[in-house]
Amino acid sequence: MCLNERGQGKTVTLQGAEVKKVQELKYLGSIVQCDGECGKEVKRRVQAAMEMMKDVKLCFPLLNTSCKRHSRTHTEAMLIYTLLPSMSVLTAVLNLLVIISISHFRQLHTPTNLLLLSLAASDFLVGVIVMPFQILFAEPCWFLGDLMCVLCNVVNFIPVSASTANMVLISVDRYVAVCHSMSYPNKVTEERVQISVLLCWVSSVLYNILFLFDNLNQPGRFNSCYGQCVIRVNGAADMVLSFIIPISAIIILYVRVFVVAVSQARSIRCHTKTVKLRRSGTATVQRSELKAARTLGVIVAVFLICYCSYYCVSLSGPDLTVSSPTVLMGFLIYCNSCLNPVIYAFLYPWFRKSVKLIVTLQILRPNSYAGNII
């Protein structure tokens, strides 16, 4: 092949691999025939480009459209290959304890605990399925194909959506229990809770399928190179439906619960007739206020901390591209699934007692399900 620059001078011949590299490297610009110093410059540039190409690692070396395989820093590697698996195991174990406790002991079969069971099931799936997949998504190369990329994201989003919906259902349950305590047994029955849980999971599945329909219809349409796993969602709509509405509902319901609880405690204090009872009533008010405030603060704060970092990215534009760089940011959402059993179950004395029975294998004894756990 004969090359020169700007149409001046004589020709210089490049051989073998040099010809192939010149054809592949577009940034060399318009190269035409030349000789002398011009020919030396062409060869120098080709050799420099060839050296640079040797240092670039591709996901699929035989494909020109392959993505580059980027190297990781030590900190990133430790975070992805140590923190993620550890958090996955911890999330699965904690939520599995909740599932076993509520499922095994008959005394815990109540409508409220059924909601806790559904929440624990969704968070358990986050630990078993979602978090391990994040290790694959964090890899610089995706080898499972475009369709599997979209399907894996759909499967990942379903437990997270179900977990958020279960948190709202628990807030509604506690609102009815405190603000409408007299009619609570009639309004919140086991059958109605089962239907609510079923609708929660069905709506989570349908929501994520419809939300990612464009990606399912044309898998890989947002990839810039081969070996990449990228999906695009409407960030603004997702933030409203998955963040603003649930957190608004939780805050409103728990504020109402807090106000009613304080009002009832103060009413008890006002009706006390002895100094001793008055003092006891005052202490009850203080304890009720602190307990309600602490519960509300923990629930809202943890939810905001875990979700805000991810959904604030949605404010950067109408569309949010989900790829490897956003995986670590979305990891905060999955931390919420690890903290949910601590917030909703570890504060209950019966859970600590049931965990002790599970760890010591006493639940394997005959009729252990009928034991007094509350």
Task: Kindly tell me the burial class for residue 210, based on how many C-beta atoms sit within 10 Å of its own C-beta (0-12, 13-18, 19 or more).
Answer: exposed
167 with 284, same domain: the answer is yes
What is the tally of structural domains in the chain?
2
Residue 69, in any domain of the structure: no
Residue 339, in any domain of the structure: yes
Query: Across all residues in the chain, what is the average pLDDT?
Result: 75
17 with 141, same domain: the answer is no
Q: For helices 131-138 and 84-104, what crossing angle results, to 10°? A: 160
| Closest of 240, 246, 162 to residue 204, by C-alpha | 162
Q: What is d(CA 97, CA 90) in angstroms, rounded to the nearest whole number?
A: 11
pLDDT, residue 218, reads 83
14 with 109, same domain: the answer is no
Provide CB contacts within 8 A for 332, sequence distance 6+.
305, 306, 307, 309, 310
Domain at 111, CATH number: 1.20.1070.10
20 with 143, same domain: the answer is no
27 with 95, same domain: the answer is no
Tally of CB atoms within 10 A around 64: 9
Query: Could you tell me if 250 and 169 are in contact, meaning their C-beta atoms sit under 8 angstroms apart?
Result: no
pLDDT, residue 136, reads 80
Instruction: Return the higher-pLDDT residue of 147 and 290.
Output: 147
Q: What is the mean pLDDT of residues 290-314?
A: 67
What range does the domain containing 253 cover?
74-370
Whether the pLDDT of residue 362 is over 50: the answer is yes
What are the Cα distances from residue 366, in Å, to 131, 362, 371?
Answer: 36, 9, 10
pLDDT, residue 175, reads 87
182 with 271, same domain: the answer is yes
Whether the pLDDT of residue 180 is over 70: the answer is yes
291 with 359, same domain: the answer is yes
100 with 186, same domain: the answer is yes
Residue 68, in any domain of the structure: no
Q: What is d(CA 4, CA 311) in angstroms, rounded to the nearest whole number?
A: 54
13 with 157, same domain: the answer is no
Whether the pLDDT of residue 12 is over 50: the answer is no
CA end-to-end span of the chain, whole Å?
Answer: 86
Residue 100, in any domain of the structure: yes
pLDDT, residue 128, reads 92
Whether the pLDDT of residue 76 is over 80: the answer is no
Instruction: Return the higher-pLDDT residue of 91 and 67.
Output: 91
Residue 198, in any domain of the structure: yes
Instruction: Return the higher-pLDDT residue of 150 and 23.
Output: 150
233 with 90, same domain: the answer is yes
| Most confidently predicted of 67-71, 188-192, 282-286 | 188-192
43 with 86, same domain: the answer is no
42 with 145, same domain: the answer is no
- In this prediction the pTM is 0.74
Query: Could you tell me if 314 and 242 are in contact, meaning their C-beta atoms sit under 8 angstroms apart?
Result: no
pLDDT digits (tens, 9 = 90+) for 232-241: 877 778 888 8
pLDDT, residue 296, reads 58
